[in-house]
Amino acid sequence: MMPIRLLVLGSGGMANTHAMNFATLPDVQLVAAVDVDIAKVRAFAARHDIPNTFTSLDEAIVWGEFDAVTNVTPDRIHHPTTLPLLAAGKHVMCEKPLAETYAKADEMATAAEASGLVNMVNLTYRNVAQVQKARQMVIDGEIGRVRHIEASYLQSWLVSKAWGDWTSESQWLWRLSTKHGSNGVLGDVGIHILDFAGFGAATEIDHVFARLKTFDKAPGNRIGEYDLDANDSFTMTAEFTNGAMGVIHASRWATGHLNELRLRVYGDKGALEVIHRPDASKLRACLKEDVETAVWREMEVDPVETNYQKFIAAIREGHTEEPSFRHAANLQKILDLALITERERRELAV
Ligand SMILES: NC(=O)c1ccc[n+]([C@@H]2O[C@H](COP(=O)([O-])OP(=O)(O)OC[C@H]3O[C@@H](n4cnc5c(N)ncnc54)[C@H](O)[C@@H]3O)[C@@H](O)[C@H]2O)c1
């Protein structure tokens, strides 16, 4: 079996995670890395034993000796790089959010569908076995009709230096600036928690009303070329296609929580809770007669395939795989609407 030749586009923080994950797959060869920063891409290639480096995607496309790409560039670079890759006939796994707006994300999904190439978005928390099991339990009717959903994504990098110093490192500063293509915490991790909630509760959002807030963080709310205007906390009330009500929120000010996703799904026969943290994930359930005494039990889960594994398998088998560009574009539509609801202070239908 010929290995799948993979190019890594972008060589920042998350690209290391991609390179390490793809390197563990036996039928994948990391053949090239691209970054506009030459020192960064050379160091990255040396670290991951990647033979070819480029400082522009155009040069890499002219070279052409790769089958697939994992796009780990900043959010606003996803659209202008993914479209030429699809046009060149390359399968693409793209980081989230697919783009900064629904219009761009939709264009990417439409191009990917027309190309027949494998297109996936790295909604990482699909890799959490506990949320996959929760979804299956909801589908199997174990908690009955879902009535209420609570989901949150908590980070604290604005108050802690555990991940570095946001006041001086570009990887954090671009995430705080709309001019640099960020939709703040809503675009950055809001997309993860909307996916986590909808996937885990086996439903979709159909009405949304959100409030977003940007706190003053520096003199004049500016550091160097970065205007710190992107939101850093959001709260959303949502209605779901299964009729349930819910609340979804996220913050970068959640002191004491480095990276924590929580989902609670309440049905008329039982309830589920998924908590995912860097150190551990848990699924707890309150089912059947335990509903009377409110006793919760931890559930066993089987290991699941990662997005990285699914992407390679989909290329091998010649089919598309979820989470697709189209799915991510649909989530992007909700993010766009959330921004409008903040301005207009009224609920909108998806
Ligand atoms: N799925 C997840 O859990 C997860 C986690 C972290 C980051 N991400 C996503 O991954 C992406 C990258 O995030 P990061 O933290 O690695 O950012 P980063 O700033 O550390 O790295 C981005 C890299 O892309 C390079 N770059 C910029 N423009 C480029 C271009 N035109 N061509 C090639 N390279 C270019 C930059 O020089 C930089 O090295 C973002 O979209 C982010 O949202 C996803």
Q: Which residue's entry shows tokens 């994950």?
A: 21
Q: Inform me whether the pLDDT recorded for 338 exceeds 90.
A: yes
CA-closest residue to ligand 1 atom 5: 14
- What band does 272 get if pLDDT is binned at 50, 70 and 90? very high
d(CA 338, CA 235): 10
d(CA 70, CA 271): 37
The CB of 171 under 6 Å from ligand 1? The reply is yes
At residue 252, the pLDDT reads 98
Say whether 247 sits in a helix, a strand or coil: strand
The domains found in the chain, sorted by start residue, are 4-124 (3.40.50.720), 125-308+332-349 (3.30.360.10)
Mean pLDDT of 141-166: 98
The CB of 55 under 6 Å from ligand 1? The reply is no
| Number of neighbours of residue 197 by Cβ within 10 angstroms | 30
Q: Which two tokens stand for residue 140?
A: 């199997």
> Number of helices (H) and strands (E), helices first, in the chain?
12, 17
Q: Ligand 1, closest atom to CA 174?
A: 19
Q: What are phi and psi of 71, to 5 degrees?
A: -95, 105
- At 69-82, the pLDDT tens digits run 999 999 999 999 99
Mean pLDDT of 123-129: 98
The CB of 141 under 6 Å from ligand 1? The reply is no
The fraction of the chain above a pLDDT of 70, given in percent, is 100
CA-closest residue to ligand 1 atom 2: 124
* HSE-CB of 207 using CA atoms within 13 angstroms: 9
The CB of 76 under 6 Å from ligand 1? The reply is no
Closest CA to 252 of 199, 207, 193: 193
d(CA 296, CA 293): 9
DSSP per-residue codes, 68-121: EEEE-S-HHHHHHHHHHHHHTT-EEEEPSSS-SSHHHHHHHHHHHHHHT--EEE
DSSP per-residue codes, 303-326: ----HHHHHHHHHHHT---SSBHH
Measured CA to CA in angstroms, residue 53 lies from 19, 46, 76, 169, 203 at distances of 14, 10, 22, 24, 42
Mean pLDDT of 149-164: 98
At residue 1, the pLDDT reads 81
Q: What is the pTM of this model?
A: 0.97
Q: What are phi and psi of 230, to 5 degrees?
A: -80, 145
Measured CA to CA in angstroms, residue 299 lies from 237, 271, 286, 287, 341 at distances of 28, 12, 10, 11, 38
- Tell how far the Cα of 293 is from the centroid of ligand 1, in angstroms: 47
- At 238-268, the pLDDT tens digits run 999 999 999 999 999 999 999 999 999 999 9
Closest CA to 170 of 290, 56, 61, 37: 37
Mean pLDDT of 97-108: 98
Mean pLDDT of 13-38: 98
Closest CA to 145 of 260, 284, 271, 34: 271
The CB of 13 under 6 Å from ligand 1? The reply is yes
At residue 79, the pLDDT reads 98
* Cis preceding linkage at 26, omega within 30: no
At residue 72, the pLDDT reads 98
Best of 17, 18, 21, 35 for a ligand 1 pocket test (most atoms within 8 Å of beta carbon): 35
Whether 122 and 69 have beta carbons less than 8 Å apart is answered as no
d(CA 258, CA 245): 28
The CB of 100 under 6 Å from ligand 1? The reply is no
Q: Which two tokens stand for residue 79?
A: 């659209």
